[in-house]
Amino acid sequence: MIDHRKHFWLGVRDFLPLVSGVLPFGLIAGATGVSLGMSPEMVLGMTVLFFAGSAQLAAYSLIQDNAPFVIILVTAVVVNLRFAIYSATFAPLLGPLKKRYRFPMAYMLSDQVYGLCSMPEQLQKSKHEQVWYIAGVSIAMALSWLISVVLGVVLGAGIPPGWSLEFTIPLAFLAMLVSTISNRLLLMVAMISGATIVLLQWLPYNFGFIVAVTAGVTGGAVLPNLLKMRGASHD
């Protein structure tokens, strides 16, 4: 018989080292929203609605520019496109669950959850073991994220208005970018996206960001084949 609690708490335990990365990001998300003039209720509401730090920070930047709601919505969708891939990966595991379990776990899906739960040692477990492990990681991540944003809101409310925190938005994205570049392909994709957004920075409402994401995704799809062809030609 499967010990559900064991695999649930294994997920919680394995997530704990990642709290150090979630905490500062949540603090930035909470404090920056308040510094932009948003009410604590609005920041927390956006946090619950988005449940995606990168999309939330991107939305902050657009709100600061008084962008239309449609632009903010499209940007959030583009930033979160990766979750479609994550969902497809976990669909065989979570699909058979009842809706009251499947929907909350789909909602709590994040980069950290995907990263931990797609490790080879986890994929070797039974489906029931994987589901409970995913549940443990997901709940630990959700609580860490929400608590860190609440702390950010509280701290941000005490920051003088003259202390602008808008600069933390690009810094947060830069930190995420540097932490994910681990090989030549990812570096090339980052360079394509970076060059595109610099060239198109004149576009209103940060629309160049959407084009840059599209260019990066296209580069990520095309470059592996080009690199293989180049390697074959050298052989």
What DSSP letter does each residue of 182-210 carry, written as one string? -SHHHHHHHHHHHHHHHHTTTSGGGHHHH
pLDDT in tens, 86-117: 888 888 888 888 888 889 988 998 888 888 88
Examine the domain organization and report whether 88 and 98 are in the same domain.
yes
Please give the pLDDT value at position 165: 52
Examine the domain organization and report whether 128 and 175 are in the same domain.
yes
Cα–Cα distance measured from residue 168 to residue 165, given in angstroms and rounded to the nearest whole number: 6
Examine the domain organization and report whether 197 and 172 are in the same domain.
no
The closest alpha carbon to 30, from 63, 62, 3, 56, belongs to 56
Examine the domain organization and report whether 64 and 174 are in the same domain.
yes
Picking from 179, 211, 227, the residue at the C-terminal end of a domain is: 179
Examine the domain organization and report whether 233 and 128 are in the same domain.
no
Contact 28, 153 (CB under 8 A): no
Indicate the pLDDT class of residue 144, thresholds 50, 70 and 90.
Answer: very high
pLDDT in tens, 168-207: 545 555 555 555 555 676 677 778 777 877 787 777 766 6
pLDDT cut 70: percent of the chain above it = 78
Examine the domain organization and report whether 18 and 79 are in the same domain.
yes
Examine the domain organization and report whether 123 and 46 are in the same domain.
yes
Domain that holds residue 156: 4-179
Please give the pLDDT value at position 62: 82
Question: For the ranges 54-63, 156-165, 206-215, 217-226, which has the lowest average pLDDT?
Answer: 156-165
Picking from 179, 200, 222, the residue at the C-terminal end of a domain is: 179
Examine the domain organization and report whether 17 and 58 are in the same domain.
yes
Domain count, the chain: 2
Indicate the pLDDT class of residue 138, thresholds 50, 70 and 90.
Answer: very high
Examine the domain organization and report whether 71 and 172 are in the same domain.
yes
Per DSSP, 125 falls in state S
Please give the pLDDT value at position 1: 47
Examine the domain organization and report whether 173 and 191 are in the same domain.
no
Taking CA 47 as the corner, what is the angle to CA 42 and CA 53, rounded to the nearest 5 degrees? Answer: 130
- Answer with the residue of higher pLDDT: 41 or 224: 41
Cα–Cα distance measured from residue 211 to residue 197, given in angstroms and rounded to the nearest whole number: 7
Examine the domain organization and report whether 69 and 83 are in the same domain.
yes
Picking from 179, 205, 222, the residue at the C-terminal end of a domain is: 179
Examine the domain organization and report whether 175 and 200 are in the same domain.
no
